[in-house]
Amino acid sequence: MIELLLLLLLIVGIVIGVLIYKQRSRTQNPKQDAPPPPPQDPFAASSTMDTAGDPRNIKAGDMIDWGTERTWIRGTLRLSEGGYVWSEHFLEVEGGKRWLSVDEDPDLELALWTGRPDLTMVPQGKTIELEGVTYKLEEKGSGSYRSEGTTGLKAQGGMDYADYESADGQLLAFERFDHGSWEVSTGTKIAAGTFTIFPGS
């Protein structure tokens, strides 16, 4: 009788030991049963991948597909004034200077800009006439910038700006960095779905 009892206790002990071992193995290797996802081509069309991207997350090294052309983000300026923050992303283009601004005030606003080094204007007055278009002052101020990638500016510094807009939505902007000369640019508003973002890393 005692031998039978000891045999039963031994069997129960072995069963409990096996169960504890299996439980510890699952706890220490929780991903062992789940195989890693297979590599995917970020450029392939897929209904399961969201390649449109969030414009608020654009950074240097990302590729932008406009549908008819592809460009890369060479550098980014993170601009701030008080608690308000917005971004300017410089595009890889042949000749000239173009960039994409991403603003949330409070709705997401995007604009594509072209530098106008041929203009030597300064932001004076509440309205400005340019090439037959009347622009009205929307806002102006001073803030700071932080540079990422290739922007042609220091790692950080100060900036001044003045933004104008015409009655039909055309944009005119003035910026100067670190008390330098005013830089003039013209721009147009664009929708978020106008382009697709492919993260660089």
Which tens digits make up the pLDDT trace of 116-132? 999 999 999 999 999 99
193: pLDDT confidence band, cut at 50, 70 and 90? Answer: confident
Measured over the CA atoms of residue 26, residue 29, residue 30 and residue 36, the dihedral's sign is negative
**Separation of alpha carbons 51 and 175, rounded Å:** 32
User: pTM here?
Assistant: 0.72
Does residue 105 surpass a pLDDT of 50?
Answer: yes
Q: Are 112 and 91 in contact (CB under 8 A)?
A: no
The single-letter code of the amino acid at 172 is L
Least confident of 37-41, 88-92, 123-127, 169-173: 37-41
Question: Would you call 65 exposed, middle or buried from its count of C-beta atoms within 10 A (0-12, 13-18, 19+)?
Answer: middle
| Cα–Cα dist 71/6, whole Å | 77
Cis ω on the peptide bond leading into residue 106 (within 30° of 0)?
yes
**What is the C-alpha to C-alpha distance for residues 167 and 165, in angstroms, rounded to an integer?**
7
Higher pLDDT, 157 or 3: 157
Beta bridge partners of 156: 146
Label residue 31 by pLDDT band (50, 70, 90). Answer: very low
Q: Domains of the chain: which residue ranges?
A: 57-198
Neighbours of 28 (CB within 10 A): 8
Say what the pLDDT of residue 159 is.
97
Q: What is the pLDDT of residue 39?
A: 57
Q: Can you tell me the distance from the alpha carbon of 76 to that of 59, in angstroms, rounded to the nearest whole number?
A: 6
Q: 72: which strand partners?
A: 63
